[in-house]
Structure 1
Amino acid sequence: MALTVVARITAVAGEEEALRQALEDLVAPTRAEAGCLQYDLHRDNDAPGVFLFFEIWESRALWQDHMSAPHILAHQAATGEMVADVALHEMTRIA
């Protein structure tokens, strides 16, 4: 069963543009991963330091593989000081 994930990432004040670029850099390699059906980055219109990824994965196991992929781990190490908060929501489509 497919897994939908919404990831909400909030930047530390003053780090919005650097974090935006770092998040954009994740899109191409993630879309090339096995099981990635959709991986779209959005920015909140009213809060420019708030970013959301809307993701659809073939399975939770493949999403978990993504979360331990080298480019994700490198991103987390490089941007830790830029991120104020992360909230992950795992969901199942019902209609």
Structure 2
Amino acid sequence: MTELTIVANIHAKPDQTGLVKTELLKLIPVTRKEPGCLRYDLHLDNDDPAHFMFYETWESRGLWQDHINAPHLADYKAATEGAIAEFTLSEMSLIG
């Protein structure tokens, strides 16, 4: 199996930062218990309080896709609808 690294950048709308942070924090304990989750760490930009970044490592892309379809992620999306200014996601592979 090839491990998959995910880097997800979430930029909250300035007036929605508190809501987005609260909802992102809710994802951590549930996701860390999911099959295949090796690392799931949330970071906050030191210069931009509306910029959050998840650094994730999964045992495989298939197990990460199971996470994408998990009910708690659907709940997050519903709770933050209209509160996200920008979202980017990169699927990465460790090469060294």
Report the TM-score, using the length of structure 2 for normalisation. Answer: 0.97
Runs (5+) with no aligned partner, structure 1: none
Displacement of 1:12: 0.7
User: Percent of aligned positions with the same letter in both sequences?
Assistant: 47
Distance in 1 between residues matched to 2:6 and 2:88, nearest whole Å: 10
Distance in 2 between residues matched to 1:93 and 1:85, nearest whole Å: 26
How does 1:20-35 map onto structure 2 within 5 Å? 20-35=21-36
Provide Cα deviations, 1:20-74, integer angstroms capped at 9, x if missing partner: 1110010000000000000000000001100000000000000000000000011
Q: Write out the 4+ residue segments of structure 1 that deviate beyond 3 Å after TM superposition.
A: none
How does 1:11-90 map onto structure 2 within 5 Å? 11-90=12-91
Distance in 1 between residues matched to 2:85 and 2:75, nearest whole Å: 18
Distance in 1 between residues matched to 2:71 and 2:41, nearest whole Å: 19
Report the TM-score, using the length of structure 1 for normalisation. Answer: 0.98
Distance in 2 between residues matched to 1:93 and 1:51, nearest whole Å: 22
Distance in 2 between residues matched to 1:35 and 1:80, nearest whole Å: 27
Displacement of 1:78: 1.2
Runs (5+) with no aligned partner, structure 2: none
Partner amino acid, structure 2, of 1:66: H
Distance in 2 between residues matched to 1:74 and 1:60, nearest whole Å: 22
